[in-house]
Amino acid sequence: MSHKRIPKRRAAMAAGGVVALGAAAVLLPNANASQDGGSPDAAPAPRTLKAADASDLAARLAGLLGDTFAGSYYDPGARQLVVNVVPGDNDQVVVEAKEAGAAVREVDNSMGELKSGAQTLKSRASIPGTSWAIDPRTNTILVTADSTVTGDRWDRLESTVEGLGSGMATVRKSTGTFKTFASGGDAVFGGGARCSLGFNVTAGDGSPAFLTAGHCGVAADQWSDAQGGQPIATVDQAVFPGEGDFALVRYDDPATEAPSEVDLGDRTLAISRAAEAAVGQQVFRMGSTTGLADGQVLGLDATVNYPEGTVTGLIQTDVCAEPGDSGGSLFTQDGLAVGLTSGGSGDCTAGGETFFQPVTTALEAVGATLGGEGTGAGAGDDGAVSGEGGSGAAGSGADDGGAADGSGADDGDAADGTGVDGSDGSHPTG
C-alpha cells in the first residue's frame, strides 16, 4: 500500500478520504428545498423541509412545547418534521407547533417517562453488548443486544425491560458484536492503532487540528498519515469512555492547511457547518476501510455499553462500518458535518448498526470550530457525487481502501488496554 506524506503548507488530509470500495451509496446533489405551500387563508399545513432545517425546528419546538413535547423525527418521504405530543390542558402550544410547520402526533409516553426508563436501564442493565436510545417513531425505547448477551445477562436485560411497563421499550437482537472500529476516512496511524480522520477543524487558539474518535485518542498520543511514518499530529484532548467518544488532534506543523471537506475518492464535498442529527434523516459515512456508505438515523442520545465502558450521547444509525472506520466522518448530502464513527456491530456485507459521536457536542467540548472553506465540489454541483473510483486526496493513507497489517479491531489495535479483541461483546470501531 502506498502512502503520501502531507508536505508543509499543503492541504491536510480531507476528512474521510478513501476509495469507496463496494459502496452502494451514491451521494446526490441537494434536491430538497424549503417551502411553505397553501393559501394564506388555509389551515396550517406541515412545511416541506430539508432534514437540517427540520432539526433546527425540532429544537425550537422542544422549548415551546415543554412537558408536552415527546420527541420528533424527520419523514424523508413527505419531507416533514413530525412532532410527538402527549395530551394536555394547553392545546394552544399544539396549535403553535402546527403553525410553525410541524406535523403533530399524539402519543402515550412522555419524554420524561422515556428518559426515566433509559435511566433505569443504565442503573440495572449496563451489560456489555447492549445499547438503548429513544425512538420517536415508535414512542418507545429501542434496546439492542448483541450476540454475546445470553444466559443470565439476557434474562437480566429482559426482566429490566419488562419492569419498565407495557409499551415503554422494545428489545431486538443483533447478530454481530458491538465493537469500536479503530482503523478508518483518511487513515491515520498511532501506537499500533489505525483510525480515520473525521473532520478538519480550527482549535480555539487558531491552530489547525482534526476530530476523530476518542478511543483512538486514548490509544496513542501521536498520529501519522502513514503506517510507521513520522508523526504529523498530537492528541490535545480525548474523551472515552464516558460522556462521548471524541478527540481533538492538533497538527504539529502550524502552517498545515486543513480545509473542511470530505474526500469522496474522485472528488471532495465541501463541509459548511456542523449540524444536529434528526431521526429519519439520510446520512453518509466515509471510512478508510469500507469507503462510502449510507443509511438513516435511528435514534439520538444513545447509550452503548462497550467492553471498555459505557458511552452516552451517541447517534444510532443503520449505516454499516468495519474495523478501521473509527473516527470517520458522518455527513449529509448538502455538506453538513453530523458525526464521528464510534462503533457498532455487523459489517458492510451483512449490515448492522453503527453509533456516532455528534460533531456539535465534540466541537463545543474541545472549543474548536470547523476549519477553512473546502476547495472541492459542493453538493450543488451538477451530477451525482459518487464514492466509487478515484484515489484518496494527498495525504491519504488508504488509497487502496484496504486495511493495513494488523489494523483491524479484532487484532487488538488500540494500545494500553483500549484495543478491542472481540472477547466480550460490544466494542468501539477504531
The catalytic residues are: 215, 245, 326
Beta bridge partners of 311: 242, 304
Beta strand residue intervals within 45-154, DSSP E: 69-75, 80-85, 103-106, 130-135, 140-145
In terms of phi and psi (left: phi > 0; alpha: psi -120 to 50; beta: otherwise), the region of 9 is left
| Residues whose CB is less than 8 angstroms from the CB of residue 261 and which lie 6 or more positions away in sequence, other chains included | 14, 15, 200, 268, 269, 270, 271, 374, 375, 376
**Length of the chain, in residues:** 430
Phi, psi of 20 (to 5 degrees): -85, 80
Reading the block at residue 79, the C-alpha cell is 419531507
| N-term to C-term CA, the chain | 19
Measured CA distances, 135 to 70, 84, 141 (Å) = 10, 11, 6
Q: Hey, what amino acid is at 193?
A: A
**DSSP characters for 223-250?**
EBSSTT----EEEEEEE-SBS--EEEEE
Distance CA 245, CA 243 (A): 7
